[in-house]
C-alpha cells in the first residue's frame, strides 16, 4: 500500500514578501515547529514541497502561518482553488482569524499540534482543531492547543513555552499557558538548535531586567523594552522603571576588557495614548546620557527595532484602535537614526520601522469576517496598491475599510476571533488600561497634545 502524500505549500505568488524560498522554508530552524511535526509523519507519509498549481497531487497540503503576511499570500496563492481534492491544513504561531479565508482551507489548527498531527490528518476530534466538513460556519467554540510536551528532537530543544509576565500587548503570552523544563518558574525565551549547533535561534535572548552582559559580547543578544517611557511600560504591565533601566546598563561596565557588546532592543511605538513627543525618544536619550561615563571604558551598541503597535486578539488591548500618527516619519525627520552617541554607549534606530499602514492591514485581517475577503482581494492584492506610498495606502484603507477594522471599540464588543476561547480574563485588565490612558489623554489634550488613535 502506497504512502499518503503530505506537501508543504511554498508561496510562488508573493503579495507580502516573506522568506519562503526552499533553503529557508520548512527545512530551516525558523520553522522548527513544522519540522517537528514532519518528523512525526516521515515514516508513514511521503513528504515534499508543493505549489498551488499542484495541490491536488497531494493528499494533504500543510500551510504554516507565521504572520498576517502569510495570510495574504495564502489567499493570493489559493485564489480560484476553492474546489480542490487535497485537504489544506493551516496552523502556526500566526494563525488566529480564519474567517476571511476559510473558504480556501479544510482544517485549521489553533496553537500547539505536537503529538497529535496524525490524529489531525485522520480527522479525529480535537478541542483546538477546526474541520470545515464538521463546522463550516464556525459555530463551535475552540481552544488554544495546549503543550503536550516540550519539543526535544534533532531540530530543536525547547526550554519553556508561554510567559508568566503577561505584558498587555503580547499575543504569545496570553494565548499560551506557561510550561517549563523541570517545572522552573523562569521563562527561557530562546530554544537550542541542536541540528545546527547554535545556542538559540537568535543567540542569547532575555528580558531586559535579566540581561547577562557577560553573554552580550559573545553572541548576538536580543531583548525588549516595548515602551519608550516608564509610564508606557507600566501601562502595558512591563514595570521597568528608569532607575532599573539605568542600573542594568551600568552593569555592563563590569566587562571593560571583553570587547564590543551589541544588543538589539525591540521597541513598540503607537499605543493609543502616545503622541509625537513620545517619538522623540527623549526619555531614553536622557537615561543613556546619565549613565555614559566621561572616559572610554566599554563599547556598548544598542540598536532599537521599532514597530507600530497593533491591538492583538485575546490580549487586554484587543479592543483598541490603530494610532494613525506616522511614528516612522516622526523618528526619521526629528530623531534620525542616531538616538545617542557617547563615549561608551551608542544607540541607533534600525531603519526598517513599521507604519500605521502595516498596523491597519494586520488589525483588519484579525477583525475580518467572511464577507471581507473581497476587500482583501480588491485592496491588499491590488497591484496598484503595492506601488503606493505609505500615506497614500493609509488614505485608501481609511476610505474603503469598515471603521470596525481599525477603530477603538467598546470593551466587550464581540470580535470575529471569539470562536477561540480566551485562556485568561482579559476584560478586567482591558478596562483598567482604558481608564488610565483616557485620563492621561484628557489631561494632555488640555495642554495641547495631539493624538492619532481612532
Q: Reduce the secondary structure of 204-240 to three states and give it as a string.
A: EECCHHHCCHHHHCCCCEEEECCCCCHHHHHHCCCCC
Q: Residue 335 and residue 331: Cα distance in Å, rounded?
A: 5
pLDDT tens digits, residue range 6-56?
999 998 887 665 544 444 455 666 677 888 999 999 999 999 999 999 999
What is the phi/psi pair of residue 299, to 5°?
-125, 100
The H-assigned helical ranges of 86-129 are 117-121
Q: Residue 274 and residue 276: Cα distance in Å, rounded?
A: 7
**pLDDT category, 1, cuts 50, 70, 90?**
low
pLDDT tens digits, residue range 161-205?
888 889 999 999 999 999 988 766 666 654 444 444 444 444 788
Q: Where are the domains of the chain?
A: 4-131, 160-434
pLDDT at 194 (0 to 100): 44
- Angle, vertex CA 228, rays to CA 227 and CA 231, nearest 5: 75
To the nearest whole percent, how much of the chain has pLDDT over 70? Answer: 90
Q: Residue 39 and residue 26: Cα distance in Å, rounded?
A: 11
Question: Which CATH code for domain 4-131?
Answer: 3.40.50.280
Q: In what order do the strands lie in the sheet with 345-349?
A: 204-205, 221-224, 261-269, 300-308, 345-349, 338-341
Which candidate, 295, 298, 312, 288, places its Cα nearest to that of 262? 298
pLDDT at 387 (0 to 100): 94
Q: Residue 156 and residue 146: Cα distance in Å, rounded?
A: 18
Orientation angle between helical segments 242-250 and 282-291, nearest 10 degrees: 40
The H-assigned helical ranges of 102-250 are 117-121, 171-174, 213-216, 230-235, 242-250
Q: Residue 274 and residue 452: Cα distance in Å, rounded?
A: 8
pLDDT exceeds cutoff 70 at 140: yes
Give the torsion sign (CA, 190, 193, 199, 201): negative
Q: Residue 212 and residue 255: Cα distance in Å, rounded?
A: 11
Grid cell listed for 401: 475599510
Strand, coil or helix: 12: coil
Lowest mean pLDDT among 142-151, 187-196, 445-454: 187-196
Map grid coordinates 513598540 to a residue.
Answer: 268
Mean pLDDT over 75-87 rounds to: 95
pLDDT at 21 (0 to 100): 42
pLDDT at 22 (0 to 100): 45
pLDDT tens digits, residue range 415-431?
999 999 999 999 999 99
Lowest mean pLDDT among 205-219, 272-286, 294-308, 366-380: 205-219
**pLDDT category, 453, cuts 50, 70, 90?**
low
Strand, coil or helix: 34: helix
Map grid coordinates 494613525 to a residue.
Answer: 324
The H-assigned helical ranges of 251-354 are 282-291, 327-330
pLDDT at 173 (0 to 100): 93
Strand, coil or helix: 157: strand
Lowest mean pLDDT among 166-175, 259-268, 416-425, 440-449: 440-449
Amino acid at each position: 500500500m502506497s504512502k499518503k502524500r503530505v506537501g508543504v505549500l511554498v508561496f510562488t505568488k508573493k503579495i507580502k514578501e516573506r522568506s519562503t524560498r526552499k533553503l529557508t522554508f520548512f527545512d530551516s530552524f525558523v520553522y522548527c515547529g513544522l519540522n517537528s511535526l514532519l518528523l512525526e509523519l516521515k515514516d508513514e507519509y511521503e513528504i515534499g514541497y508543493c505549489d498551488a498549481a499542484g495541490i491536488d497531487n497531494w493528499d494533504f497540503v500543510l500551510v504554516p502561518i507565521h504572520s498576517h503576511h502569510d495570510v495574504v499570500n495564502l489567499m493570493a496563492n489559493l485564489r480560484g482553488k476553492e474546489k480542490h481534492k487535497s485537504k489544506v491544513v493551516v496552523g502556526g504561531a500566526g494563525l488566529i482569524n480564519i474567517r476571511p479565508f476559510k473558504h480556501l482551507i479544510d482544517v485549521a489548527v489553533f496553537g500547539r499540534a505536537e503529538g497529535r498531527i496524525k490524529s489531525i490528518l485522520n480527522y479525529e476530534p480535537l478541542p483546538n482543531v477546526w474541520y470545515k466538513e464538521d463546522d463550516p460556519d464556525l459555530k463551535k467554540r475552540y481552544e488554544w492547543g495546549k503543550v503536550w510536551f516540550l519539543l526535544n528532537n534533532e531540530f530543536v530543544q525547547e526550554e519553556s513555552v508561554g510567559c508568566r509576565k503577561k505584558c498587555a500587548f503580547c499575543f504569545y503570552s496570553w494565548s499560551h499557558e506557561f510550561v517549563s523544563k523541570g517545572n522552573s518558574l523562569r521563562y527561557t525565551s530562546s530554544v537550542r538548535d541542536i541540528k545546527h549547533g547554535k545556542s538559540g535561534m537568535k543567540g542569547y535572548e532575555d528580558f531586559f531586567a535579566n540581561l547577562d552582559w557577560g553573554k552580550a559580547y559573545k553572541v548576538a543578544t536580543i531583548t525588549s523594552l516595548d515602551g519608550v517611557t516608564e509610564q508606557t511600560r507600566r501601562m502595558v504591565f512591563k514595570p521597568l522603571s528608569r532607575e532599573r533601566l539605568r542600573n542594568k546598563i551600568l552593569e555592563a561596565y563590569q566587562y571593560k576588557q571583553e570587547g564590543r557588546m551589541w544588543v538589539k532592543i525591540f521597541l513598540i511605538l503607537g499605543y493609543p495614548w502616545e503622541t509625537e513627543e513620545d517619538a522623540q525618544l527623549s526619555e531614553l536619550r536622557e537615561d543613556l546620557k546619565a549613565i555614559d561615563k566621561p572616559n572610554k571604558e566599554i563599547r556598548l551598541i544598542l540598536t532599537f527595532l521599532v514597530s507600530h503597535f497593533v491591538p492583538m486578539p485575546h490580549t487586554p488591548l484587543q479592543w483598541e484602535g490603530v494610532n494613525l500618527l506616522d511614528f516612522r516619519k516622526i523618528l526619521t525627520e526629528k530623531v534620525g537614526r542616531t538616538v545617542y552617541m557617547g563615549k561608551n554607549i551608542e544607540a541607533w534606530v534600525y531603519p526598517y520601522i513599521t507604519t500605521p499602514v502595516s498596523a491597519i492591514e494586520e488589525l483588519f485581517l484579525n477583525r475580518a469576517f467572511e464577507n471581507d475577503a473581497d476587500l482583501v482581494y480588491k485592496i491588499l492584492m491590488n497591484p496598484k496598491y503595492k506601488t503606493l506610498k505609505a500615506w497614500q495606502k493609509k488614505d485608501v484603507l481609511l476610505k474603503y475599510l469598515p471603521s470596525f477594522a481599525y477603530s477603538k471599540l467598546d470593551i466587550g464588543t464581540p470580535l470575529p476571533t471569539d470562536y477561540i476561547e480566551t485562556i485568561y480574563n482579559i476584560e478586567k485588565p482591558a478596562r483598567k488600561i482604558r481608564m488610565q490612558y483616557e485620563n492621561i489623554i484628557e489631561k494632555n489634550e488640555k495642554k495641547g497634545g495631539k493624538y492619532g488613535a481612532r
